[in-house]
């Protein structure tokens, strides 16, 4: 059995630095929402739900700079639209060799999302209360391409028939209790 949210037999890989922005906002009804992207169907994370972000460039001054730069490139969120609330615990991917610095940011939601179509297929605004609804969270045996055997994977079912799993799942798992406790003014 694999670790929940991981691929079986994760190979030891030198870790590369990356950063993501975990955008949150309240909609017109006051409901708390997380912004996720659905990656294009290519690359190591193809088709997966993720937070805007990516690899650290040599010109990035800090992990926060990486997260903000990537959010602007991928979904058009400018740094002026983001109030950084917290640096969340650094987390590593289990199979693809990334050490990721996540940053929670309250955003001013744009009137219309404009995403980088070469990398992103869709921007999703996920309701935090819906993530907590019965039946949304599950664990199943999955056998994905490139895996030597099936593994037990924990995930959230997200509107549109998507599954939030892997690193993004682990960020959300750690974040939900803190959001519900009202740790930050959002």
Q: Within a domain: residue 1?
A: no
Query: pLDDT digits over 68-108, tens only?
Result: 999 999 999 999 999 999 999 999 987 778 999 999 999 99
Is residue 6 in a domain? Answer: no
Residue 169, C-beta contacts closer than 8 angstroms, at least 6 positions apart: 5, 154, 155, 156
d(CA 70, CA 23): 12
Find the domain containing 175 and state its range. 16-180
User: Strand, helix or coil at 144?
Assistant: coil
Kindly report the CATH number assigned to the domain that includes residue 73.
Answer: 3.90.79.10
Task: Spell out the alpha helix ranges (H) of the chain.
Answer: 63-75, 128-131, 166-180
This prediction's pTM: 0.87
- Summarised one tens digit per residue, pLDDT across range 127-165 is 999 999 888 998 888 776 766 788 888 999 998 789 999
Distance between first and last Cα of the chain: 38
Domain assignment present for residue 10? The answer is no
Report yes or no on 185 lying in a domain.
no
- In angstroms, the CA 51 to CA 68 distance is 12
């Amino acid at each position: 059995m694999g670790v929940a949210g991981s691929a079986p037999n994760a190979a030891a890989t030198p870790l590369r630095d990356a950063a993501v922005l975990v955008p949150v906002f309240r909609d017109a009804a006051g409901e708390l929402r997380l912004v996720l992207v659905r990656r294009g169907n290519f690359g190591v994370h193809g088709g997966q739900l993720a937070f805007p972000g990516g690899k650290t460039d040599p010109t990035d001054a800090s992990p926060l700079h990486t997260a903000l730069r990537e959010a602007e490139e991928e979904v058009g969120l400018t740094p002026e639209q983001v109030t950084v609330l917290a640096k969340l615990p650094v987390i590593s991917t289990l199979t693809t060799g990334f050490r990721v610095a996540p940053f929670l940011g309250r955003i001013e939601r744009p009137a219309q999302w404009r995403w980088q179509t070469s990398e992103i297929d869709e921007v999703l605004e996920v309701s935090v209360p819906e993530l907590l609804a019965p039946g949304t969270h599950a664990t199943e045996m999955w056998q994905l391409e490139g895996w030597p055997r099936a593994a037990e994977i924990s995930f959230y079912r997200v509107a549109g028939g998507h599954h939030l799993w892997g690193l993004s799942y682990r960020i959300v798992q750690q974040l939900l209790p803190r959001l519900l406790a009202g740790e930050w003014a959002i």
